[in-house]
Amino acid sequence: MDISVLMKLRSAWNSFCRNHPRFPDFLRDVKNRGIPVGTEVTISVTYPGGETLKAGLRLTEEDLELLQTLKKMSE
């Protein structure tokens, strides 16, 4: 990956963290507690007009392997 792309990504992440300071704390708490197989993840998006879309999933061993791979890529 191009270093300039990584620098832009880091800058964007830092800006995101400034705009949403509780979200990185949430991610850190989840990381510290761990994510065992069977963990449920629910994502909800509510649009300004009030419409809400939701999706939920129960993590499998394969899902956790993907998360570990992504974690290693970010180190």
Q: What's the pLDDT tens digit per position in 38-74?
A: 999 999 999 999 999 999 999 999 999 998 898 888 7
Q: Distance (Å, rounded) from C-alpha 72 to C-alpha 75?
A: 5
DSSP E strand boundaries for the chain: 40-46, 52-58
Amino acid identity, position 13:
W
CA distance 53 to 47: 8
Angstrom distance (rounded) from CA 5 to CA 16: 16
Q: Is the pTM of this model over 0.85?
A: no
Q: What is the pLDDT of residue 17?
A: 96
Q: Is the pLDDT confidence value at 1 over 80? A: no
* Interval 5-44: pLDDT, tens: 989 999 999 999 999 999 999 999 998 998 999 999 999 9
Q: How far is CA 19 from CA 2, 6, 46, 49, 69, in A?
A: 26, 20, 18, 22, 27
